[in-house]
Amino acid sequence: MEHYERIKLLGEGSFGKVYLMRHREERKLLCMKVIKIKNIPRKEREACRMEVELLKRLHHPNIVGYRESFLTPRKDCLCIAMEYCDGGDLCEQIKGARRRLFSESKILHFFVQMSLGLHYMHSHRILHRDLKTQNVFLLGNGRVVLGDLGISKVLNGTMDFASTCIGTPYYMSPEIFKNEPYNHKSDVWALGCVLYEMTTLNHAFDSNSLNGLASKIVRGKYPPINPKYSPHLRDLIASMLATSPAARPDMDQILRHGFIKRHIHNFLADIMSREQSQIGEGTMVVKAAAVNLAGGGGGGRSSRSSTGSGAVLSRNRDMQALQEQMEELGLQSVVARALQAGRAAREQASALHREEDRKRAVEAALARLRSEREQRLAQRQAALDAAKGNRGGERGGGGLGVQRPVAVVRRESGQARARPKACGAREGAGSAQNPRRRARCCCRRRRSSSSSIAAAAAAAAAAAVSGGRPSSSAQ
């Protein structure tokens, strides 16, 4: 435990707790399950040992990743370090939907990954036996993993049957309620219940009592799904929830179905279209496996991005397991088409990014030009205002007498230019028909009469000097 730093408690149960931890050296977040093994029933101790053994054996990007396990110094607790799923579980997603149904593409995006993980377990003759929405975990980048393998059962042969009545009642198959032996088809039933729950946000079979629930499950009657979903999805749910195990398809048949193959293509094409910085390590493993299967090579390089050597080995095993699984399912052509579609989508996204960058550059240039133009206009206006102020000062300082303030108006606006006045009396102001006529004030008339009197006096004086005869100008 000295290599880990505890961050917070994620959950707890009867025999242990789950913590979010950070590795002190690698600085990676992990999920640590701490299980009390002292004074617990032998059955629970065996389940802990089984979970550790299965996690060590199973290497697949759609099964929760195992890191290490160890005992505490007092030997009273078993610690299992696993991959941290930051997206919560599927049950939380369904509750958070709040009656808003999932799209069919989202449902099948989850279902394809769950099917790949469960098919891998069945190919290794392992039953999950407790498949439910609480044990389907999501990561923030869209990857789905199966977890909580504590009650999984390892079968010795492909036709072996288990006989222990175990699991969550809502997802139990009819053969378990009938106390009959069951095999991998019981997991198919549980996965069908999970698929139904994603389409309706409700359990396929529900009742107030265990006997009522058992009766509904044995009869296999459930409400129909919303008509917005395709007939292919409706038929898939009906086949997986067949009451007879022989009538149910196995995971190999489901993944080879044309309807599911189309969504495997969509799932892989979505991963191929993402940039390297937009996907996590687990999703990078899926991408590397697809590239290797299609003959593109270079997949191992992306899976070696992890820092720890143990993580590198685990990721390489996950990639190899997925590559072999898709090859066994005959998905080579599907993967090749997905690679082409992903490459085309990536090129289209790159072209859109370039176009957006060009638009942003043009908008920035236009904004810069507008700013410069506004600055020039502001400078020009300031210069005009300064020039007008200088002219107004010169006019105001040259007049005599008391100058009365008047408004200065632009000639361009069509208004008359203001003039200083020596008095307030106006005579003969301009009329509306002739607004340009200047007003005459009384002081101008007084000045004109004074000058005429002076001229007459000068003429009289000249006549007296010339012999008493007035000049013609005086007459």
Going by the annotation, the residues of the binding site for ATP are 43
Task: Return the amino acid letter for 278.
Answer: Q
Cα dihedral across residues 440, 446, 449, 451: positive or negative: negative
Per-residue tokens: 116: 């790949």
The answer to whether the CB of 132 falls within 8 A of the CB of 194 is yes
Catalytic residue, candidates 76, 86, 89, 130: 130
Distance CA 63, CA 113 (A): 9
Question: For the purposes of burial, counting CB atoms within 10 Å of the CB of 83, is it exposed (0-12), middle (13-18) or buried (19 or more)?
Answer: buried
Strand partners of residue 475: none
9, 76, 80, 441, 459 from 73: Cα distances, Å:
21, 8, 14, 115, 139
Distance CA 286, CA 331 (A): 14
Instruction: Tell me the backbone φ, ψ of residue 133, rounded to 5 degrees.
Output: -65, -30
Is 385 catalytic? The answer is no
119, 128, 155, 157, 325 from 122: Cα distances, Å:
5, 9, 9, 11, 12
Task: Return the amino acid letter for 442.
Answer: C
Q: Which residue pairs from 23-31 have beta carbons closer than 8 angstroms and sit at least 24 positions apart in sequence?
A: 26/307, 26/308, 26/311, 28/307, 29/84, 29/86, 30/4, 30/67, 30/81, 30/82, 30/83, 30/84, 31/81, 31/82, 31/83, 31/84, 31/85
Per-residue tokens: 317: 């095993």
The answer to whether the CB of 138 falls within 8 A of the CB of 114 is no
Question: Which residues does the annotation mark as catalytic?
Answer: 130
